[in-house]
Amino acid sequence: MDTNKYNSDCRFFLGTVPCRFHKKTSNKCYNCTDYQKIDYNILIIKLAAVGDVIRTTPLLHKLKSEHPNALIHWVTYTPEILPDLIDRKYKFNLESILTLEETHFDKAMNLDKDLQASALMNKISADEKFGFCLKNGMPAPCNELAKHKFVTGLFDDVNKSNTKSYLEEIFEICNYKFQGEEYILPNPPEFDWKIDKSSKVIGLNTGCGSRWVSRLWKFDYWVELINMLQKQGFTPLLLGGEQEDERNKQLASLTNAEYKGYFPLPKFISLVNECDLVVTAVTMGLHLAIGLKKQVVLMNNIFNPNEFELYGRGKIIQPAKECKCYFAPTCSNDDYFCLDSLTPQMIFEAIKQLI
């Protein structure tokens, strides 16, 4: 008997250090009862923003159902947001690229239409490829399945007329049909936030990032909404990152709304989990709220509302005046700023309908 035999096809084999079961029991591969043979190798390339990574996780339901013994690899800029279902989590850097280039996959999916992700897809060895690759130095569909999603990103009129959600599109790219599969998040850590839970906690995600200022709701509207919520007996909880910190401090000072500060991603997930409902623009906070199965009031102006899947747990509220800056990071309309016609009363009524 070869007592130094090793099973490199085991889910828990690391190759560089002992696996967790050897450390726990001192068993070697020849007498290990925790051996799980890998029969399929899958790669997901989704670098993009955190919110886009989160809203791609429903694909895992299909992949695990179709290939229960697969080893799933995922490369992204934010591996910390990936759920435990992912066996190998890679941060997009040179070290990871070198490893992935020397690994053969049964199936590879690139769901980012950008140069770096598409170039990586070209380098990957895989029996089947879905999504986007690089052709003549530019992103392109790998096959016909990805063409619809590719074209909606090129032409505003095609995007506006699209009736498919993002999830329907990415499932279609991978030759699946979306059937209501939910987001999958890492389990949020537990903290004692000392938030008054005697009334409904309404999370107010006040930012939209520094790039997409065309979707930034004005400060005075947040003050007005907070006052409405407090009069109704709700507990407003201000949410945001470092960019929203100063705004949220000012809002808390003016209204006495709860504000706990900004935190690393795992702790922020825990804070969002304290909410009964979240009011937000299209940001990472939106997708965290959806993933945590919270009620959501989504303020949308520059995107096609058909894009968003709220799973029957929310409302999309749009300005009364037409947005003339479709899919634009800054407003170019000299006549009016459309979000000024999305009033606090409209948001308040949506909250009351959902709670």
pLDDT score, position 213:
85
- Whether residue 63 is predicted with pLDDT greater than 80 in this model: the reply is yes
The pLDDT value given to residue 168: 97
Rounded-to-integer distance, Cα 147 and Cα 258, Å = 46
User: CA-CA distance, 180 to 58, in Å (whole number)?
Assistant: 9
Phi, psi of 223 (to 5 degrees): -60, -45
- Give how far Cα 174 sits from Cα of 128, 133, 166, 311, 347, Å: 10, 14, 13, 21, 36
Q: Residue 351: pLDDT above 80?
A: yes
DSSP-assigned letter for residue 323: P
**End-to-end CA, the chain:** 65
Q: Cα–Cα distance between 13 and 199 in angstroms, integer?
A: 49
| Sequence spans of domains, the chain | 40-173, 201-354
**How many Å apart are CA 114 and CA 157, to the nearest integer?**
21
What pLDDT does 219 receive?
A: 95
Poorest-confidence range of 32-36, 92-96, 350-354?
32-36
CATH code of the domain occupying 40-173: 3.40.50.720
**CB neighbours of residue 237 within 10 Å:** 24
Range 17-28 average pLDDT = 91
CB atoms within 10 A of CB 21: 17
pLDDT tens for each residue of 68-111:
999 999 999 999 999 999 999 999 999 999 999 999 999 999 99
Is pLDDT above 80 for 210? no
In this predicted structure, the answer to whether residue 163 has a pLDDT above a threshold of 90 is: yes
| 245 within 8 A of 261, measured Cβ to Cβ | yes
Residue-level pLDDT at 212: 78
Please tell me the predicted confidence (pLDDT) of residue 131: 98
Sole residue written with tokens 């939209």: 208
Q: Which fold has domain 201-354?
A: Rossmann fold (3.40.50)
- Let me know if the fold of 40-173 is the same as that of 201-354: yes
CB 316 within 8 Å of CB 305: yes
Q: Give the Cβ contact number of residue 334 at 10 Å.
A: 7
Structure tokens at 300: 């949308």
Query: Angle at the Cα of 118 (from 112 to 119), degrees rounded to 5?
Result: 150
What single-letter DSSP state applies at residue 322? P
pLDDT at 271 over 80: yes
Q: What is the DSSP string of 37-73?
A: B--EEEEEE--S-HHHHHTTTTHHHHHHHH-TTEEEE
| Span 115-145, pLDDT tens digits | 999 999 999 999 999 999 999 999 999 999 9
* Long-range pairs for 284-287: beta carbons < 8 A, 24 or more residues apart: 284/49, 284/50, 284/51, 284/54, 285/203, 285/205, 285/239, 285/240, 286/51, 286/205, 287/50, 287/51, 287/52, 287/54, 287/55, 287/183
Q: How far is CA 69 from the centre of its chain?
A: 25
d(CA 290, CA 273): 10
Alpha carbons 138 and 150: distance in angstroms, whole number: 12
Does the pLDDT of residue 209 top 80, yes or no? no
Q: pLDDT band for position 178 (50/70/90)?
A: very high
Tell me the per-residue pLDDT of 308-347, one tens digit each, with 9 for 90 and over. 999 999 999 999 999 988 888 898 888 998 999 999 999 9
pLDDT of residue 327: 82
Distance CA 209, CA 282 (A): 10
Q: To the nearest whole percent, how much of the chain has pLDDT over 70?
A: 99
pLDDT of res. 1: 67
The DSSP line for 169-227 is HHHHHTT-----PPP--PPPPP-------SS-EEEEE---TTT-GGGPPPHHHHHHHHH
d(CA 2, CA 31): 10
Average pLDDT value over all residues in the chain: 94
Q: How many CB atoms lie within 10 A of CB 246?
A: 10
Residue 341: its pLDDT value, please? 95
